[in-house]
Amino acid sequence: MIEHAEHSHPEECCGLLVGQIQGDRIAAIEVYPMANQWNLETGPEFEAAISAPKPATLPSRERRYTIDPRAMLEVQKLARDRGLTIVGVYHSHPEHPAIPSEYDRELAWADYVYPIVSVRRGYPSAVRVWQLDDDQQFVELELCEDLP
């Protein structure tokens, strides 16, 4: 995740975490870097952008990401065949803190964790992990690097 974020700068990177859910513990076992497929035509801002009289700064891959649903389905199948599942979606925030945006919250799914890598001046500076609570708000989770 961290290397992917560093190499993708100044654009956001994105990818999937595959692993297992063990009670209230989510164990990410594999990382699947994905191509950032975001573009204005597929982003939710498209309708607003084309109807606006003078679009201000339009979102770009420096502030948005999208994972191709076909690629996500392929990873889901690979994981399932090995008794695993997708447990999270990671992405980076170039030149911004590792705190989810409102856009991140609107697109998040409650079943996944969302690690965010902050990249400042081309170098990863922080990793924080988030998950939606029952009120659809992000709460920060503790990041553990090894299993007991």
Look up the CATH number of the domain holding residue 42. 3.40.140.10
- Please indicate whether residue 99 or residue 51 has the higher confidence score (pLDDT): 99
24 pLDDT tier (thresholds 50, 70, 90): confident
**Max CA-CA distance within the chain?**
57
Domain count of the chain?
1
Is residue 147, in this structure, part of any structural domain at all?
no
For residue 86, pLDDT beyond 80: yes
Lowest mean pLDDT among 108-112, 116-120, 144-148: 144-148
- Of 48, 72, 68, 67, give the one whose Cα is nearest residue 58: 48
Q: What is the mean pLDDT of residues 122-140?
A: 96
Compute φ and ψ for 119, nearest 5 degrees. Answer: -120, 115
- Band (pLDDT 50/70/90 cuts) for residue 148 is very low
The secondary structure element, H or E, covering residue 15 is strand 14-22
Q: Which domain holds residue 33?
A: 2-141
Q: What pLDDT does 82 receive?
A: 96
Contact between residue 97 and residue 124 where contact means Cβ atoms under 8 Å apart: no
- Please say whether the beta carbons of 35 and 71 come within 8 A: yes
In a domain, 60, yes or no: yes
Is 84 part of any domain?
yes
> Pairing between strand 114-120 and 138-141?
unpaired
Domain-located, residue 146 = no
Mean pLDDT score, 82-111: 96
